[in-house]
Amino acid sequence: MESPRHRLLVVDDSNVIRRRIERATEVPEIEFVGAARNGVEALEMHARLQPTLVTMDLTMPEMDGAECVSQLVQRDPQLRILVISALADKLTAIEALERGASGFLCKPFTDRQLNDALRKLIDAA
Amino acid sequence: MSLESEVGVFVGAVLQYFATTVQQAALCGTPHLALNGPPELSDYTGVIRVTGKRSGLVAFTAPRSMLSVMLMRMQETDMSNANLRDLVGEIANTLAGNARRDFGQQFQISVPEAVTGRESRLSYPAAGRPIVIPIEWRNYHARLIVCLR
């Protein structure tokens, strides 16, 4: 039987981080479908690519990650969003969760921490 | 928070960044005030502007060779100028962002800017006294510059 597929969209203004998340993701059920550089691109790519999982940076130009989380969850309440941010205070994490994110991972992160966080996200889905 | 504690916050962030991202420890040298003019910059510098309860900047400056090796350690094959600028901005962003754990939400940070070249100049806040934290990693030398009012 084919394992269920989760379609991953990566949102971060850093190309290095986008490529790292794509490369480091080793959860077999997850398929990388695209990467966006800001919240505006993320909304457009969500409509086009229909991801089921999103990793979301917070500090980005055009539209920041917090606003993008709110808009994505409004469009698609089933979407699982992992916020990955350098903003390491508890209030920022709580605000992201209140806006509808499903998890929070602090930068810097190891490959293992990334995969553990993604695994938790899909196990909870 | 005392100046010593503030410097400690950034030193801790630097050590954690290297241990986590490139999985090789860095060493921080003795922090010092830049008393004789603005601190020297290296090949690439990532700058984060800080506003809110504190204002000023946090900058990470490093040689091309060091950044290239860091990218290799991250399994990245693209060593282009754009990616080196991106990396140095992301490091500054991470170090400044991590400081919010200790400074609180009033410590608001901008998206990163990157400048290239040792002759570049940063615009420091008036009356700001930049603190330079030397960073040694493998045989490379970088600096974290913190200038907050």
Average pLDDT over all residues of chain A: 93
Question: A112 to chain B: nearest residue by CA?
Answer: B20
- Which amino acid type is present at position B110? S
The shortest CB-CB distance from B97 to any of A13, A60, A88 is to A88
pTM (predicted TM-score): 0.90
ipTM for this model: 0.87
Please give the CATH topology (third level) of the domain spanning B3-148: Chemotaxis protein chec (3.40.1550)
Which pLDDT band holds residue A1 (cuts at 50, 70, 90)?
A: very low
Identify the weakest region by mean pLDDT among A24-28, A58-62, A75-79. A58-62
Give domain status of residue A1, yes or no. no
Asked whether the predicted pLDDT for residue A68 surpasses 70, the reply is yes
At a CB cut-off of 8 Å and minimum separation 6, what does B18 contact? B24, B25, B26, B137
What local confidence, expressed as pLDDT, does residue A4 receive?
60
- A26-35: average pLDDT: 95
Per-residue confidence (pLDDT) for residue A11, from 0 to 100 = 98
CB-CB contact of B6 with B12 (8 Å) = no
Q: pLDDT per residue over B82-115, tens digit each?
A: 999 999 999 999 988 888 888 888 888 888 899 9
pLDDT, tens digit (0-9, with 9 covering 90-100), for A76-104: 999 999 999 998 788 888 999 999 999 99
Q: Given an 8 Å threshold on Cβ–Cβ distance, is B90 in contact with A109?
A: no
Residue A45 lies in a domain: yes
Tell me, what's the pLDDT at A6? 95
Domain total for chain A? 1
Range of the domain at A71: 6-123
Q: For residue A107, what is the nearest residue in chain B, using CA coordinates?
A: B94
Residue A103 phi, psi dihedral angles, 5° rounding: -160, 165
Q: Considering CB atoms only, which of B75, B98, B109 is closest to A23?
A: B75
What CATH number has the domain bearing residue A16?
3.40.50.2300
**Span B51-65, mean pLDDT?**
92
Query: SS3 for B106-118, per residue?
Result: CEEECCCEEEECC
Residue A52 tokens, joined: 């089921």
Query: Is position A25 within any domain?
Result: yes
Neighbours of B131 (CB within 10 A): 19
Q: Looking at the domain assignment, is residue A92 inside a domain?
A: yes
Q: How many Cα neighbours within 13 Å face the side chain of B15?
A: 9
Structure-token pair, residue B75: 């399994």
Of A24, A60, A109, the CB nearest to B20: A109
For the segment B2-24, what is each residue's pLDDT rounded down to a tens digit? 777 888 888 889 999 999 999 99
Q: How far is CA A101 from CA A92, A98, B128, in A?
A: 12, 7, 38
Asked if B98's CB is within 8 angstroms of A110's CB, the reply is no
Q: Are A24 and A116 in contact (CB under 8 A)?
A: no
- What's the pLDDT score for residue A89? 82
Tell me which chain B residue has its CA closest to the CA of residue A106: B98
- Provide the pLDDT for residue A3: 61
Residue A65's identity, in one-letter code, is G
Judge contact between A59 and A87, C-beta under 8 A: yes
Percent of chain B having pLDDT more than 90? 64
Rounded mean pLDDT of A9-26? 96
